[in-house]
Amino acid sequence: MTTSRFLTIPIFFWHLLGWFFYGGYNLLGLFIGRNSPTPQALWFNGSMLLIRILEFYLCYLVIYPRLLRPGRGWSLVGAVLGVVALFIGLRAFIEEVLFPAVLGFGNYQIGGSTAFKVGYYIGDNIYFATPIILISAAIWASQTALQRERENRVLRDEKRAAEVAFLKTQINPHFLYNTLNMLYGLAYPVSKPLAAAILKLADLMRYMLPDTPDGQVLLSEELDYLRNYLDLYRLRFADQFFVDFQLRGDPTGHRIAPLLLIPFVENALKHGTLDDPAHPVQIQLEVTASGLQFEVRNQPLHSGDHKDATTGVGLPNLRRRLELLYPGRYTLSVGMEAAQFVTSLQLAEG
């Protein structure tokens, strides 16, 4: 999480208000038990406030966003010790070097040996440095948790909205599926190839009706859907349809979100060259124990050639769906390679 997201105007206002009350509380302590504080006390109080502000935001904006996470424990400890050393060094420079040279007085007037002075000074300032480090950690962690909760709530709302929109589309596939089954019964006595094509289309419609509690289907069912889709395209273009579909690995037992792979194929068939046997559309799926890799390559159409005016799901929508269903578990690449349009998807097992 970047620090700029914390420095919004409302948060800056609350920080400013917090430091105002903190400084006022310290100043009030100087007036308790005396008519007025000494000038030296005011100078020391002001310098301590500025050093603590620097200490707080060094932890809050730099150290904790980068190091307060699993696996960075020793780096965090080293950074915090560095902040403590900086706190001690700044106090020593300002109050024991700068103030005596400019104002004529210092803060620590300790008798005894030089070694005793140094030891007492370091121990005393570790005591003063520690509370701000802990307060900064608590505030940063609380704000980070709240921010993540807001982001999770937005993701849940978006996923729920997508599910509702998806369910609304199910009325049409239900109707088509039932109608196609009826047409299959009518077409079978007349033309078995036509009946077989209608049955494949009916299977496509049936697959679009999810009935699993976790919203996923067997990878083998997704592959059957792709094969039926390609078979229907092959009927449409007869002997002018060249697609090479290769499967490596065993899809048994693997599950996937339904209709996740079809946009890649649909995009290639709509916007790629299908009638060139030297450059067929290449579809490759590799399944391993850790996940799968799906790649589609096609030769782009020449300018002005269009087979289908429809747009399908679209890669931007697919990318958003991947973010919702597989956060942090997918890699999607889209681009040109050696005059071919290539889309590649890697999914890791959850």
Same domain? For 11 and 149 the reply is yes
Out of 137, 164, 191, pick the residue that ends a domain.
Answer: 164
Residue 176 is assigned to a structural domain of this protein: no
Packing angle between helix 192-207 and helix 219-237, nearest 10 degrees?
140
How do residues 13-33 score in pLDDT, each as one tens digit?
667 766 676 766 666 666 665
* Average pLDDT score over residue span 280-301: 93
Out of 113, 148, 164, pick the residue that ends a domain.
Answer: 164
Residue 41 is assigned to a structural domain of this protein: yes
Closest C-alpha among 295, 280, 284 to residue 242: 280
pLDDT at 110 over 60: no
Residue 49 is assigned to a structural domain of this protein: yes
Instruction: Quote the CA–CA distance of 145 and 158 in Å, as a whole number.
Output: 20
pLDDT bucket at 283, cuts 50 / 70 / 90: very high
Same domain? For 34 and 120 the reply is yes
Q: How many CB atoms lie within 10 A of CB 268?
A: 24
Q: How many domains does the chain have?
A: 2
Closest C-alpha among 170, 202, 174 to residue 186: 202
Out of 122, 144, 164, pick the residue that ends a domain.
Answer: 164
How do residues 112-169 score in pLDDT, each as one tens digit?
455 547 778 888 888 888 888 888 888 888 888 888 888 888 888 777 777 656 555 5
Instruction: Quote the CA–CA distance of 318 and 298 in Å, as a whole number.
Output: 19
Across-strand partners of 266? none
Same domain? For 157 and 262 the reply is no
Same domain? For 135 and 245 the reply is no
* Average pLDDT score over residue span 54-81: 87
What's the residue count for the chain?
Answer: 350
Residue 216 is assigned to a structural domain of this protein: no
| DSSP per position, 241-290 | --EEEEEES--TT-EE-TTSSHHHHHHHHHHB--S-TTS-EEEEEEEETT
Residue 173 is assigned to a structural domain of this protein: no
Q: Which of 66-70, 249-253, 315-319 has the lowest mean pLDDT?
A: 315-319
Same domain? For 143 and 8 the reply is yes
Which domain range does residue 247 map to? Answer: 238-348
Q: What is the CA radius of gyration of the chain?
A: 34
- Find the CATH number of the domain harbouring 249: 3.30.565.10
The more confidently predicted of residues 344 and 204 is: 344
